[in-house]
């Protein structure tokens, strides 16, 4: 019986402590804490249109606490041991960012410099961010104190490319496929190629015409091959 009373007392103590911590209106009333909403963000730069030279990733964070009537700063560091992206392919980050007044949400913008990443090299990079304690914020959820942006500018040659490589679109270049995806509205699967070959060839003709009008890109094609379905 004494053990039962002791357990009830412990339970009641924890219950009241929890109420105090979160406040009568449901807000967290201890020191406000901040955490990453996502532990990773994947960015496939190679699938974007060929004219996109930079792309800004927004890394979201959230505050455990109530909104303030003034802006608040929080600190973030790039984890140099875990980050594999060289510094010249993304814009340097500040160590401090802001949670705007009347909000519990924030974002860290990371500008990826796509035009500096070789599209023919199959390399996956990552930028790893760590939260830091400051005078305004403590740490939030333990598993949400680190986030990473994973990205690549490589666009794999589609399985169907080789079939008409020596007839119409020539040796594979990511720029050619990116332009075809732009006209098509997205990646072209092997199933789409097999069932809609005429439409794919017409899409390739649009790509061919574009690069013939823009020889500055240096795209090469088979010589004197008449395109069908003109």
The confidence score (pLDDT) of residue 17 equals 42
3-state secondary structure of 154: coil
The confidence score (pLDDT) of residue 140 equals 66
Q: Rounded to whole angstroms, how far apart are CA atoms 20 and 27?
A: 10
The confidence score (pLDDT) of residue 230 equals 59
Superfamily of domain 33-152: hypothetical protein (bacova_03559) (2.60.40.1740)
**DSSP output for 168-198:** II-S--HHHHHHHHHHHTS---HHHHHH-HH
Tokens of 153: 């500018």
**What's the pLDDT tens digit per position in 175-209?**
999 999 999 999 999 999 999 999 999 999 999 99
Phi (first) and psi of residue 40, to 5 degrees:
-155, 150
The confidence score (pLDDT) of residue 150 equals 98
* Alpha helices, H only, the chain: 2-22, 174-184, 190-195, 197-213
Residue 46: closest CA among 119, 96, 97: 119
Mean pLDDT by groups of 10 residues along the chain of 230 residues: 44 42 44 88 95 96 89 94 96 92 94 95 96 80 86 96 92 96 95 95 95 94 76
The confidence score (pLDDT) of residue 39 equals 93
The confidence score (pLDDT) of residue 141 equals 67
């Amino acid at each position: 019986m004494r053990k039962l009373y002791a357990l009830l007392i412990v339970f009641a103590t924890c219950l009241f402590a929890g109420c105090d911590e979160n406040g009568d209106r449901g807000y967290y009333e201890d020191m406000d804490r901040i955490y990453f909403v996502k532990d990773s963000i994947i960015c496939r730069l190679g699938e974007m249109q060929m004219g996109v030279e930079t792309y800004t990733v927004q890394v979201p964070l959230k505050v455990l606490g109530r909104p303030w009537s003034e802006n608040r700063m929080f600190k973030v560091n790039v984890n140099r041991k875990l980050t594999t992206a060289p510094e010249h392919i993304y814009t340097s980050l500040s160590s401090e960012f802001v949670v705007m007044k009347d909000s519990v949400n924030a974002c860290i913008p990371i500008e990826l410099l796509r035009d500096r990443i070789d599209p023919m090299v199959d390399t996956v990079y990552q930028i790893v961010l760590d939260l830091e304690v400051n005078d305004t914020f403590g740490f939030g959820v333990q598993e949400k104190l680190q986030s990473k942006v994973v990205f690549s500018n490589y666009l794999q040659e589609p399985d169907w490319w080789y079939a008409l490589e020596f007839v119409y679109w020539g040796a594979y270049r990511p720029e050619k496929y990116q332009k075809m995806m732009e006209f098509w509205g997205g990646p072209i699967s092997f199933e789409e190629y097999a069932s809609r070959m005429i439409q794919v060839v017409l899409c390739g003709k649009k790509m061919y015409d574009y690069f013939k009008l823009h020889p500055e890109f240096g795209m090469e094609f088979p010589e004197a091959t008449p395109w069908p379905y003109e």
